[in-house]
A and B are shown apart, each in its own frame.
Chain A
Amino acid sequence: MTTHYLVLSALLFAIGGVGVLVRRNAIVVFMCVELMLNACNLAFVTFARQNGNLDGQLIAFFVMIVAAAEVVIGLAIIVTIFRTRRSASVDDVSLLKY
């Protein structure tokens, strides 16, 4: 059963990764990042049960806290960018290049 959870976690992680790569809307990209984090959390929780200690859950808890902070800052940045560029596309913010 544990294996199933882990494979599900891997699938969700990969889907999130692909989403980050193919979507241009910064908010959607952010959602995909959250999806990847959640997939990781699932793996942590699964391992916690598999190994019979709470460390996995603890780490998942901390991941959630950090993710919350990250979302707050990331979305603030998106709002700021949108304000100046009238666009939330990650491809528009490409001045820092060759």
Chain B
Amino acid sequence: MEPAEIIQHSGGAIGAAWLMIALPLVGAAILLLGGRRTDKIGHLLGVLMAVASFAVAALSFVQLLGFAPGERRRGIELYDFVPGLAKVGLLVDPLSISFCLLITGVGSLIHIYSIGYMAHDPNRRRFFAYLNLFVAAMLLLVLADNYVALFVGWEGVGLASYLLIGFWQHKPSAATAAKKAFIVNRVGDFGLLIGLFTIFATFHTLAFNDVFANADKASSGTLTAIGLLLLVGACGKSAQLPLQSWLLDAMEGPTPVSALIHAATMVTAGVYLIVRSGPIYQGAETAQLVVTIVGVATLLAGAIIGTAKDDIKKALAGSTMSQIGYMVLAAGIGPAGYAFAIAHLITHGFFKADMFLGAGSVMHAMNDEVDMRKYGALRKVMPVTFATFAIGYLAIIGFPLLSGYFTKDGIIETVMEHNAVLGWLAVLGAGITGFYMSRLVFMTFFGAKRWEPTAHPHESPAVMTWPLIILSIGAIGLGAFLVLGNRFMTFLAPAVGAPEEMPSFHPFSLTGLATLALVAVGAVFAWFRYGAAEVPAVAPRGSFLTTFARRDLYGDALNEALFMRPGQWLTRLAVFFDNRGVDGLVNGLAAGIGGTSGRLRRIQTGFVRSYALSIFLGAAVLAGAWLVVGNL
């Protein structure tokens, strides 16, 4: 089933969809331009704008539901940027509205949570301004009806991500991490940009509608090229192999940022791009295959990294990589996978945000300690945090009937039907997920107290726990709501197309049972290693594999060896060449001319008679020349 036609729309909440972007943008502008005068209202205005944006999104969603399924793609023209070439407009369809609800919904909750989390930060206003800026850019990314506006939003979220990772720029590690994220994202953006150029060269337009309508007319080679280039962009933004290295360092940012940007929303932009560009990938088998391979590789890599990290946020970041790997894997399969990819994306947004915010709550209680080896036995001290975190944990490992169970198993089942090897690898990833998430929970909330003497853990204030509770509700029920009866797949079908036959949900399929069994094995193993046994305060050296995982699978080392060192040598060579070659030439020339002139100017003695002599001798030479020539 092909995507439905886009109907131009005006009026109602959908007609005002631009408000979704404008409101947070205005909020960011006021807070950034207003300076210290807005310090007092900064956080309130930020929350207000995010919630207002959510209200618009919700109303639009309701209005969209009012239309027949085939008429649920609504285009809004904003203005002709370049007449006949670049119209700027918004596209409200089931796919984008799902993202809008996720971004504004989870975003609002995280805004509220940040009021408490950042309460003591002197730059809280700036923080909220950046958060608003991020929300606006992300909404532009998903609402755009063409690749140009998408790219603007894409860069906007990159900028917001950079600003927020480096929010505590007085920490050198944060500043470095921000730069790293920005530079790695540039690589991806470069690919995306070339992809967009290729699209324009092929289709002479960048509007989604026109590109997708003509996608089948382009050669499969072109589509493959476009698909691979878009995948490069998606890899950069979504921290997929081989551009994954920035995500772990991005945890230097404040925890709400990690929750919102580096877990729930921004990092899923790559999945959005692949799903949105479905018609292109469907014409390019090779590109799809590469997408699935990247997805599987990343889901395994992320899971392996997650097993070895003692930093709670980095362990969660590895988990994020891994989960996005699942989504990319599903997105690479085609319409059959899209719904599960997006559904998992949404439920992941909830339970990962839940866990990140829970981790933030723990850190808040433990004087910003992030080392899980210094946690332990926190479940009694922080009951709400523990409860919500536990729900998120159960959801992500796929505990039956919670969100992750439906969406992740949906992905695994779909992949298994598509390609058994990939499917089993995905099952293996789920097993590792069971291990590392259990390890995280056991190290943090169970076992003996390993706190620092100065730590006095306490439950977080209500403004922080309520978002946790709401998010955990989503983590519990959202999966079942979306997947059971193929509700979400049907809803998305007008936007991304649907497979020929709707999948039916088998509660106890072979794959599902195998997954559950592996997850259980992993969890039990983790319990014996980290729950029941004593956790050493200092990480043991571990085997080669542990080191391998701790060092992020040598991703940084690889980047360093492949790009940084040669780059440094290249720049050194360039500097050397510039200093010695270019400068030497220029300076040598200048010095030569200067020296020659310095000697030549001695001719100007100031004595008139010297000048007269030269005139006289010159005249004599001329007379001689005249004689010679005259006699020839």
Contacts and interface: CB of A to CB of B under 8 A. Distances in A.
Interface of A: 17, 20-22, 24, 90-91, 93-98
A90 B609 contact: yes
Interface residues of B, number: 11
Interface in B594-609: 601-602, 604-609
Interface of B: 601-602, 604-609, 612-613, 616
7 contacts: A20-B609, A20-B616, A21-B613, A90-B609, A91-B608, A96-B606, A98-B606
A97 B612 contact: no
A97 B608 contact: no
Nearest to B602: A98
A81 B607 CA distance: 15
A91 B607 contact: yes
Q: Is the interface of B mostly helix, strand, loop or mixed?
A: helix
Contacts of B609: 20-22, 24, 90-91
B554 to A, nearest CB: 67
B604 A97 contact: yes
Contact of A94 (B601, B607, B612, B616): B607
Query: Looking at chain A's contact residues, is the secondary structure mostly helix, strand, loop, or mixed?
Result: loop
Contacts of A95: 606
Sorted nearest first, the 7 A-B pairs with minimum C-beta distance are: A97-B606, A94-B606, A98-B601, A98-B604, A90-B608, A97-B604, A94-B607
Nearest to A18: B616
Contacts of A93: 608
Contacts of A21: 609, 612-613, 616
Nearest to A91: B607
B69 to A, nearest CB: 92
B620 to A, nearest CB: 9
B612 A20 contact: yes
A50 B609 CA distance: 36
Given A94-B607, A97-B606, 4 more contacts: A17-B616, A91-B609, A97-B605, A98-B605
Most chain A CB atoms below 10 A, which of B608, B612, B613: B608
A95 B601 CA distance: 14
Contacts of B602: 98
A93 B607 CA distance: 7
A21 B620 CA distance: 14
Contacts of A96: 606
B23 to A, nearest CB: 73
A22 B607 CA distance: 12
A24 B616 CA distance: 16
* Residue of A17, A93, A98 with highest tally of chain B CB at under 10 A: A98
A88 to B, nearest CB: 13
Nearest to A26: B608
A91 B606 CA distance: 8
